[in-house]
A and B are shown apart, each in its own frame.
Chain A
Amino acid sequence: MIAYFQTVLITAGIFALLAQGLNLHRGYTGLLNFGHVAFFAIGSYTMAIMVTQFEFGFFTSFIGAIVAATIFGVIVALPAIRLRTDYLAIVTITIGEIFRLVIQSGPGVTELTRGPRGIRGYSNEFFFLREDLGLGFLDPQMYLLAIVWTAVIVVGVLLFFLLRSPWGRVLKGIREDEDAMRALGKNVTSYKIQSFAIGAAIAGLAGVLFAMDIGSLSPVAYLPLITFQAWTIMMLGGMGTHFGPIIGSIIFWSIFNGTLFIPDSIVSGAEAAYLRQIGVGALIMLIIILRPQGILGSREEMVLDK
């Protein structure tokens, strides 16, 4: 039972981070990013490759992963910012898939990523570190749980201050009407790149922690499904709210893993896996019909047009 809650909370924390980054893009800046999983993957892979192939320490690799995700965020943003709404969505979803396929079978790239065989053996130092951090009394799962939720809280607090500052107000303005913001003298392009980069960095951080959780990397762990789960979490919690991604993620993963409690006599394990997917689909529909603004979103804001 405790193991169940640990698993749910670790995953929920990682996806809360993912949704926090997405929420910065979509909820605050109005950027329809459907390729979020690519930033997640680049975080995981950069860290794993640096540790296993170049024998960097965990901290260096961790920083490297976040820097790589940030740079990738800027690179994706450059073509993407010229596009609006649906067009941006199409381009980002494509970038996400291209990225996964390159990891899986890109010529030259697979020497680093080991293609479909994946990478393992990168997490030892991370788990040994808990002695140094004075967390030796925790078992590895509890330790990971603690680190993940520390990250969620730190990112949450930092974002909170950023988004209620004038910088965050400019992002919201861009979400509402980017031409109006241009007329007000704001460099919309630059802000969109900043938003993209920071959201990507947070996703990269989530990717590192995800890698620690799953223990071995392979491209199949980075399907577009991850992006859609992050979207569902953001919408469930409430787009453009500070705590929405966190609450959304906990509820989402509780429901998702809830199928474990259905006795085997009613549905078998394999059926339960399908049941989860059905559950997620039903959840998305329920949110949109019953509470389109999400749990923390404001109904009033939802019904307003521009």
Chain B
Amino acid sequence: MDDLQLSFGGLKAVDGANLEIEPGKITALIGPNGAGKTTLFNVVTGFYKADGGSISFDGNSIMGKNPHSVAKRGLVRTFQLTKSLGRMSVLENMMVAAPSQAGEKLFAAWFVPWVINRQEKQNRQKAIELLELFNLIEKKDDYAATLSGGQRKLLELARALMMEPKMILLDEPMAGINPTLGARLLEHVGELRDKGMTFVLVEHDMDVVMRVSEHVIVMANGKVITQGSADEVRQNQEVIDAYLGTGGGAVEEALDEVMEGKPADGRE
């Protein structure tokens, strides 16, 4: 994407973001609270209209496209504040996400029920496998609204994977997830990456970032201030400058700031 811009009133939430996501890799997007990470996701996935710039995915421009057409092209996102379909069962939440369902066409149910039945069977199978992986299988018949906060995060991730995306933007997927399960999910993410899926994740936990990501992008005040491999970013002077001001503390300290998401104010 090139020179992406979005303002809310006077505030430049995304200000000339320029970046490229490498396919088949896990990229981490980090930066303090209010840096514009979620807003960037919203712009890329069509939920907000950018004021300027360009975005392309898989060789085609997706600038100004509707959220659903972006998602249909295989660029899928999750929400920082989870959106579960509360009065539908966990399994229904999964099933509804399956891509290209014949039965989603109006009146298909009257004319080609057998096609629908076959697809439903396959999708249910896939949904159940994912729910098992995400430790949600016992909850499959419960209303999604009865899930705990962490379980909703899990459901949202599982639901996004149900769509078989090419690229997936995860907004703090690990927030509130128990570390053991989190590790298992990251392992699964790694496996999917090996199969060619591209991941971008917003994450405040630097341990996770350093462990899983091959590429790290640092944002602050709507701008991409640096990017590179995890180690490069760790040593980048600009990161330190951005968060602590010039001549600030040690690298580790700078990263601590990023990690805790405190705003940069350049003073002690």
Task: Spell out A's residues near B (CB within 8 Å).
Answer: 158, 161-162, 164-170, 172-173, 175-177, 179-188, 194, 198, 300-301, 304-306
Contacts and interface: CB of A to CB of B under 8 A. Distances in A.
A168 B107 CA distance: 10
Interface stretch (B91-99, B132-140, B250-258): B91-99
A188 B159 CA distance: 18
Nearest to A169: B96
Contacts of B79: 179-180, 183
A305 B68 CA distance: 25
Nearest to B146: A304
Given A170-B104, A183-B76, A176 B88 contact: yes
Contact of B71 (A168, A185, A306): A185
Contact of B85 (A168, A176, A182, A185): A176
A300 B67 contact: no
Contact of B143 (A162, A166, A300): A300
A166 B104 contact: yes
Contacts of A188: 68
Most B CB within 10 A of own CB, among A181, A182, A183? A183
A15 B84 CA distance: 34
Contacts of A169: 88, 92, 95-96
Contacts of B106: 162, 167, 194, 198
B96 A170 contact: yes
A9 B106 CA distance: 31
A152 B168 CA distance: 46
A188 B47 CA distance: 13
B159 to A, nearest CB: 7
B139 to A, nearest CB: 14
Contacts of A194: 106
Contact of A166 (B78, B84, B103, B163): B103
Interface string B81-92: 001111110001
Given A167-B103, A183-B83, 9 more contacts: A169-B95, A182-B66, A182-B71, A183-B47, A183-B79, A184-B163, A185-B76, A304-B86, A304-B143
Contacts of A170: 96, 104
A186 B130 CA distance: 21
A300 B143 CA distance: 9
B46 to A, nearest CB: 8
A216 B199 CA distance: 65
23 contacts: A162-B106, A166-B96, A166-B102, A167-B104, A167-B108, A169-B88, A170-B96, A173-B88, A177-B83, A177-B85, A180-B79, A180-B85, A181-B68, A181-B96, A182-B67, A183-B47, A183-B76, A184-B76, A184-B97, A188-B68, A300-B143, A304-B145, A305-B86
B77 A162 contact: no
B116 interface: yes
Given A180-B83, A183-B79, A304-B143, A162 B68 contact: no
B172 interface: no
Interface of B: 45, 47, 66-69, 71-72, 76-79, 83-88, 92, 95-97, 99, 101-110, 113, 116, 119-120, 143, 145-146, 159, 163
Contacts of A165: 103, 108-109, 113, 116
A23 B72 CA distance: 29
A165 B113 CA distance: 9
Given A166-B96, A166-B104, A166-B120, A184 B71 contact: yes
A161 B103 CA distance: 11
Shortest 7 CB-CB contacts between residues of A and residues of B:
A165-B109, A166-B103, A185-B71, A180-B83, A176-B85, A182-B67, A304-B145
A173 B146 CA distance: 16
B68 A185 contact: yes
A291 to B, nearest CB: 17
Most A CB within 10 A of own CB, among B86, B102, B108, B113? B86
A198 B106 CA distance: 10
A110 to B, nearest CB: 36
A167 B163 contact: no
Contacts of A179: 47, 67, 79, 83
A164 B88 CA distance: 12
A182 B159 contact: no
A80 to B, nearest CB: 18
Contacts of B83: 177, 179-180, 183
Contacts of B120: 166
A183 B77 contact: yes
Given A165-B116, A166-B101, A304-B86, A183 B67 contact: yes
A186 B88 CA distance: 16
B143 A184 contact: no
B84 A180 contact: yes
Given A167-B109, A184-B163, A194-B106, A176 B71 contact: no
